[in-house]
């Protein structure tokens, strides 16, 4: 597989993250306009966006085409475990930074 093909394949996580974030923002707009039942969907899709970004970071940090090439548990039982994904992406230093730490702690809760 060429480097271009590898990047295109793992960039699907990036693309999925952007699309889920846009979906979440759309639902959030509806929730803010009075359709409170959209709030849960917005939160769920935002969480999926975070998961996709973490999986993209895992691929980049580990030079993988697909996250389950080396970390199949990120697709299966630990796929929704954000802390585990952050560790596998070697991003624990990033969430310790002061400007991110407070927001990250809210996400974990």
pLDDT tens across 54-109, in order? 889 888 888 888 888 888 888 877 777 777 888 888 887 777 776 677 776 776 66
Name the band, by pLDDT with cuts 50, 70 and 90, for residue 50: confident
| Confidence grade of residue 45 (pLDDT, cut at 50, 70, 90) | very high
pLDDT digits (tens, 9 = 90+) for 1-41: 666 666 667 788 899 999 999 999 999 999 888 888 888 89
Nearest to 73 by CA among 55, 60, 94: 55
Q: Which residues of 39-51 are buried (b: 16+ CB within 10 A; e: fewer)?
A: eebbeebbebbbb
| 71: number of Cβ within 10 Å | 21
Q: What is the pTM of this model?
A: 0.78
């Amino acid at each position: 597989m060429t480097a271009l093909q590898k990047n295109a394949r793992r960039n699907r996580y990036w693309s999925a993250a952007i699309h889920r974030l846009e979906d979440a923002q759309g639902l959030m707009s509806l929730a803010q306009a009075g359709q409170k039942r959209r709030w849960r969907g917005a939160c769920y899709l935002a969480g999926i966006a975070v998961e996709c970004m973490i999986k993209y970071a895992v691929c980049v940090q580990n030079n993988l085409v697909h996250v389950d090439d080396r970390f199949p548990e990120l697709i299966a039982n630990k796929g929704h475990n954000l802390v585990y994904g952050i560790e596998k992406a070697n991003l624990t230093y990033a969430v310790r930074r002061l400007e991110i730490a407070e927001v990250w702690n809210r996400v974990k809760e």
